[in-house]
Each structure stands twice: as structure tokens, then as C-alpha cells.
Amino acid sequence: MRFSFWGEKVSWLKGFFLFYLFFLVLFFAATPFLTMWMYAQTSLTKSLLPQLIGFCLQGGFLVIVFALYEKRSVIDSRRSWKFTLRTFLSPIVDRCLPPWKNGSATPEPLLPPPESMQQGIEAIRERGLDPVLAAELHGIAERSLISMESLSVVAAQIDHAHLGCWMSIIHRTRAIAQAASGEEQAKLVVQLLEDVQRFDELYFF
């Protein structure tokens, strides 16, 4: 109930700002004509032109502040969505990587560093997959596939680049679940880790 209340409050504030911006745009469109009319009717010191200029400056400042707030909110939302997707991949990705240390003082889970990802890729290329690990990855891929396809909607809300990379990850995961040999599975796991690397390196603006 509490989150619903705050969601309704934020929605109401956005509606108020949009209503205000609508009339502000109309006022900006009419300002040149009002200025010419007032300049022709009376002197500058006796007209409302100084107040109009001040109102325009104030309105422009509010527009900039609201635009920055909206941009920051969008970036925070995209960052949260990306972290959710990346965390979902942890069960299959972390099993392929060497042990890595959480360098943060917080107990929250962190993503492995890039060098750990590269070490895992090189290790699988050189030695292949352990049979026990291969069986675990096969089971995780089968169980995760449906959920990963459902999360494509979340990836689409970030941007098209993240969506394309996520679809490639789904394709690799499906292939891992259907792999017929350990050698084929090892090759697919390497490709999956490379796709995850590209996913981690993507930026959004």
C-alpha cells in the first residue's frame, strides 16, 4: 500500500508538471506578440514586460530542472533493469569462473570483475568443461530458459542494443540445453560468456 501511495503521488506530480509545461509553451509562443503590443501601447517602465521576462526565465529554469530529473530517473531505472538481468545470469555464469573476492564492504552481491570473466573463458578454451560442471550447466540452462525469454521485455525497456545482446544470450542458453556433446557444450559456454561480456560493456544514455 505504501509503494502504491508514493507511485500515485509521483504520477500526480508528473501530471501537474506536464499541465504547467503545456501552458508555459503557449505563453512562450504568445510572448513576442504581447511584447510588441505592450511596447507600442506604453513605456517599458510602466508595462508588464519586466515581469514577463522574469516569468519566462523562471519557467525556462523549471523546464531544465524537470528535464534533468526525468533523465536521471530514466537512467536509474535502466541501471536497475540491467542489474536485474545480469543477476539472473549469475547461477550459470559464476559456475564457469574462477573464485573472485567481493571487494565491497557491503553484503550486497556484486558482479565478477572483467578479468575474472576472461580467465574463465580462457580456462574453458584450454581444458574444456568438467563433466560434473557440464551436467550442472545443462540443468540450469533448461530451467532458466523460459524465465529468460520472459525477461526480454525488461531488456527491451533498456535499449535495442541490450535487447539484441539478451536475445543472443537466450540463443546460447537454448543451445547449451540442447548440446549433444561436451565439446559442443564447452564451445557454446565460451560464446555465452563472451555475450555476457558484451552485455556488461554496453552503456546507455
The 10s digit of each residue's pLDDT in 145-172 is: 999 999 999 999 999 999 999 999 999 9
One domain for residues 117 and 187: yes
One domain for residues 45 and 93: no
One domain for residues 131 and 38: no
Residue type at 119 in one-letter notation: Q
One domain for residues 66 and 136: no
Determine, yes or no, domain membership for 77: no
One domain for residues 125 and 187: yes
Q: Which cell goes with 130?
A: 568438467
Determine, yes or no, domain membership for 103: no
Indicate whether 68 pLDDT > 60.
Answer: yes
One domain for residues 187 and 93: yes
One domain for residues 175 and 118: yes
The 10s digit of each residue's pLDDT in 77-91 is: 899 999 999 999 988
One domain for residues 42 and 93: no
One domain for residues 50 and 93: no
The 10s digit of each residue's pLDDT in 34-54 is: 666 655 565 555 556 666 666
What angle, rounded to 10 degrees, do the helices at 49-88 and 182-201 form? 160
* CA–CA distances in Å: residue 138 to residues 36, 88, 122, 196, 197: 75, 16, 20, 17, 20
The predicted model gives 187-201 an average pLDDT of 92
One domain for residues 186 and 93: yes
Query: What per-residue confidence (pLDDT) applies to 9?
Result: 44
Average pLDDT, the chain: 78
Query: What per-residue confidence (pLDDT) applies to 3?
Result: 36
Determine, yes or no, domain membership for 83: no
One domain for residues 188 and 121: yes
Query: What per-residue confidence (pLDDT) applies to 71?
Result: 83
pLDDT band at 69 (very low <50, low <70, confident <90, very high): confident
Lowest pLDDT segment from 41-50, 91-100, 109-118: 41-50
- Domain of residue 11, residue span: 2-71
Q: Return all residues near 62 (Cβ < 8 A) that are at least 6 apart.
A: 20, 24
pLDDT band at 120 (very low <50, low <70, confident <90, very high): confident
Determine, yes or no, domain membership for 189: yes
Which helix (H) or strand (E) segment holds residue 71: the answer is helix 49-88
In the chain, the percentage of residues whose pLDDT exceeds 70 is: 65
Indicate whether 76 pLDDT > 80.
Answer: yes
pLDDT band at 8 (very low <50, low <70, confident <90, very high): very low
Name the percent of the chain in helix, strand, coil, to the closest 5.
80, 0, 20
Indicate whether 140 pLDDT > 70.
Answer: yes
* Spatial separation of the C-alpha atoms in residues 14 and 80, rounded to whole Å: 21
One domain for residues 11 and 67: yes
**CB contact at 8 A, 75 and 204:** yes
Determine, yes or no, domain membership for 32: yes
Determine, yes or no, domain membership for 41: yes
Determine, yes or no, domain membership for 105: no
